[in-house]
Amino acid sequence: MAAVDIDIPVDSEPQFCIPGELERQAEVFKEQGNVFYSQKAYSDAFNCYTKAIDAWPKNASYYGNRAATLMMLSRFREALEDSQQAVRLDDFFMKGHLREGKCHLSLGNAKAASRCFKKVLELEPSNREAKQENKTAENLMELEKMANFGFEKRDFRKVVFCMDRALAVASACHRFKIFKAECLALLGRYPEAQSVASDILRLDSTNADALYVRGLCLYYEDCIDKAVQFFIQALRMAPDHEKARLACRNAKALKAKKDEGNQAFKKFNFEAAYQLYTEALAIDPNNIKTNAKLYCNRATAGAKLNKVNQTIEDCTNAIKLDDTYIKAYLRRAQSYMDTEQYEEAVRDYEKVYQTEKTSEHKHLLKTAQLELKKSKRKDYYKVLGVAKNATEDEIKKAYRKRALMHHPDRHSSATAEVQKEEEKKFKEVGEAFTVLSDPKKKIRYDNGHDLDDDGGFSGRDFDANDIFRAFFGGHNDGFSFGSGQDSGPGNFFFQFG
């Protein structure tokens, strides 16, 4: 801070004899204070000016000089009191009005500061310092106005920007610091917000606003019990603190609803848990960290209720709120696996493994990658219309049904396009049966191996009709579906169609 002018008598000015020993002693103390001030020994100067005031408390310049010293020590509230006392003793004391205005500015009271500077301009219209300081006060009022408007619009970044500029002028304004800290908390910048609030609490442990912001940070970091303690303390200091009251009510309601949902889940009452988590999510949209957990909790309950799409959506919402939330990635990846969305599952498991390189996460990733690889091949189980755990008999029955359904002879009277499509399906059915009816090939297929490797299976020497004849035991390539009469040994089997 730039040095503040003090009132030092000029030799050219007429010297008046101060009657009485106290007045003379006060003047000596003042002169000693001036020397210390010029040497930047502000604490010593403060002591001398205090002695001067104690000896003769009716001299405005003594208060003015001590105010200047206190300003250099950044003790603006005390400096303000001395400045005000100085102008009470002498309303024409311009330096007293200037110092009062500068103290108001440092403390963030721009309107009061402007009144002081205008008073100086009444006494001396050409005073350049008063004009400049008055412009500073007007700029400060405008910044505060912009910040309040930004807060109403929930543009918290703008508030922080405005408060940073305001604090460059009003460095001792706790109100501006708290306003900035509150918005930092709302932006999720908790360490910065906590630092500001803690600095103020070190100076004033009863500051309700700082207690509120400290609680707000804890609340948004999902330390709800501790947050409630700070809110209650803030309300003790300021019973009418509306923000602390609302935050305390929300914190208690959120914790109660979340705990209730957890208890319902533990008792396997998943419908109730799902509903309770939904109600908890509606309490405070600003609590990002807690809401991320609530979305993940609801996703877990939804998975138990087979609400797969809702489970994926809830996990996605949790990740939007907290992109480091491993549990949400794992839950969503499992849901993707359950719905055979393997590419999405691989992406989530890769994110998890990059963050936490555990053997379990590596195994989950490899499993998803294998399923993705398998999904890009023909699904022989789907071709036959059987489950992946189908028995040998189920596979045979399914082949019999599908082979008869798609055999070319059955569609000989259909259009060329239909015949071509049915022939293709007939070949796929034979190919699927060839693999799934052979234990070795089936194991390789289930494990994701390529069956063309090492001659295990090749479409080049595959003949669906050969498979068909071998399965049905027929020796005649001709079949009749329309006459109902035997036209060859194989015709009997088509009665199963």
372 vs 451, higher pLDDT: 372
Tally of CB atoms within 10 A around 453: 9
Per residue in 142-180, pLDDT (tens digit) is 999 999 999 999 999 999 999 999 999 999 999 999 999
Please report, for the chain, the start and end positions of each structural domain, with discontinuous segments joined by +: 19-144, 151-251, 287-376, 380-448
The chain-wide mean pLDDT, for the chain, equals 87
Predicted local distance difference test score (pLDDT) of residue 252: 96
Nearest to 244 by CA among 212, 221, 222: 212
Architecture of domain 151-251: Alpha Horseshoe (1.25)
Cβ-contact 406, 425 below 8 angstroms: yes
483 vs 307, higher pLDDT: 307
Cβ-contact 434, 457 below 8 angstroms: yes
Is the C-alpha dihedral spanning 146, 152, 153, 158 positive or negative? Answer: positive
| CA–CA gap between residue 152 and residue 471 (Å, rounded) | 78
Per residue in 78-94, pLDDT (tens digit) is 999 999 999 999 999 99
Would 151-251 and 380-448 be classified into the same CATH topology? Answer: no
| CA–CA gap between residue 16 and residue 152 (Å, rounded) | 59
| CA–CA gap between residue 222 and residue 243 (Å, rounded) | 18
- For the residues 42-68, what does the mean pLDDT come to? 96
314 pLDDT tier (thresholds 50, 70, 90): very high
Architecture of domain 19-144: Alpha Horseshoe (1.25)
Cβ-contact 429, 400 below 8 angstroms: no
| CA–CA gap between residue 495 and residue 355 (Å, rounded) | 60
| CA–CA gap between residue 491 and residue 142 (Å, rounded) | 95
Specify the DSSP class assigned to residue 482: S
497 pLDDT higher than 70: no
SS3 of 480, please? coil
What residues have CB less than 8 Å from 413, skipping those under 6 apart? 482
- For the residues 371-393, what does the mean pLDDT come to? 85
Output the DSSP codes for 90-109.
-TT-HHHHHHHHHHHHHTT-
Predicted local distance difference test score (pLDDT) of residue 474: 53
* CA distances for 19 relative to 8, 27, 102, angstroms: 20, 11, 34
CATH 3.30.70.3400 fits 287-376, yes or no: no
Pick the CATH number of 380-448 from 1.10.287.110, 1.10.3720.10, 3.40.190.10, 3.40.50.300: 1.10.287.110
Question: What is the pTM assigned to this prediction?
Answer: 0.67
